Amino acid sequence: MKKLIVSTLGCIMVLVACSTATPNFDQDKAFAHITAQCAFGPRNPGSDGIELCRDYLISALKVLGATVTEQPFVASVQQDSVAGTNIIASFYPQMSRRILLGAHYDTRPWADKDPDASLHNTPIPGANDGASGVAVLLEIARVVSRTQPQQFGLDIVFFDLEDSGSYGDNISWCLGSQYFADNMPINEPEKAIIVDMIGDKNQNIHMDYFSYHNHPILVKELWETAHELGFNSFKSTIKQAIFDDHYPLIQKGINAAVIIDFDYPLWHTMADEPSACSPASLEAIGETLLHIIYATQ
């Protein structure tokens, strides 16, 4: 009888361990990070907002115990030399298997897709286009700081100067990730996942062509995980090819993919405010990524 009791308790303990293997993502905490970023104002290059946001990120990551590295660089934006800073946060650096998560924290300097042409030179608020991806990664950082994954250490990169490009000129975009890929200050990750524009209330996440043809196994893992969790906003179709912060990593031979909502109607407009975003959309991305991070194989 004692053996039976011990065995039963052991099973209970195993069941509890399994049920708590992947910690929960707090969508409200994540959404608060969108609000906080937008309160700084636009985060375009050279603005007070980008400086305040940079300090906010570094401070938040250090409080969580991350090893934080700033990676300054200078890039050309419309023939002007502009300074940028990538922010790299590492958790559990002793673990050899690594996952990289990335998002850009800058915002577009011009609302050049706004219906009101008089606003085309006004910097955008960037709630979804910038702040939403950052918000998800900050909440993931909080979760990972409290519970160490079994298999993977985590590197989170916040890229600067992603959103100051010229339409039709791919290499004028993603300047921070291009510099990072050329001067990578961390060990090569086993998987690299970029998130961008994922907070839209009407979330639809299609597959990116470059991601799928670079690393279909990673893309399938992401989409199958999302579907298993009940997030039907992940659509199993290749929508288009996009030059985003994953592409410079792909060019360096890294297994990288992007999660992005291609069809955000408020893209590069002054209406890209927190009210256009949804905590539930952040949860769909955050929970999916946490299940990848806490996978046991």
Relative orientation angle of helices 279-293 and 216-228, to the nearest 10 degrees: 120
Answer yes or no: is pLDDT of 93 > 90: yes
Percentage of the chain exceeding pLDDT 70: 93
Answer yes or no: is pLDDT of 297 > 80: no
229: left (phi over 0), alpha (psi -120 to 50) or beta: alpha
Answer yes or no: is pLDDT of 270 > 90: yes
Answer yes or no: is pLDDT of 4 > 90: no
Pairing relationship of beta strands 153-159 and 234-240 according to DSSP bridges:
unpaired
Task: Quote the mean pLDDT of the chain.
Answer: 93
C-alpha count within 13 angstroms, C-beta hemisphere, residue 217: 3
pLDDT band at 225 (very low <50, low <70, confident <90, very high): very high
Q: What was the pLDDT predicted at 84?
A: 98
The pTM of this model reads 0.92
Answer yes or no: is pLDDT of 12 > 50: no
Q: Cα torsion for 104, 139, 47, 111, to the nearest 10°?
A: 60
Q: What was the pLDDT predicted at 129?
A: 98
Residue that wins the pLDDT comparison between 14 and 48: 48
What Å distances lie between residue 99 and 69, 91, 92, 115, 244, CA to CA? Answer: 17, 10, 11, 40, 18
Distance from C-alpha of 237 to C-alpha of 227, rounded to nearest angstrom? 13
Q: Does domain 23-293 have CATH number 3.40.50.300?
A: no
Q: What was the pLDDT predicted at 211?
A: 98
First to last CA, the chain: 35
Cβ within 8 Å of residue 13, ≥6 positions away: none
> 177-200: per-residue pLDDT in tens?
999 999 999 999 999 999 999 999
Would you kindly state where each structural domain of the chain is located, as residue ranges?
23-293
> 112-140: per-residue pLDDT in tens?
999 999 999 999 999 999 999 999 999 99
DSSP 135-191: HHHHHHHHHHHHS--SS-EEEEEEESS-S---TT-GGGS-HHHHHHHHT--SPPPSE
Answer yes or no: is pLDDT of 287 > 50: yes
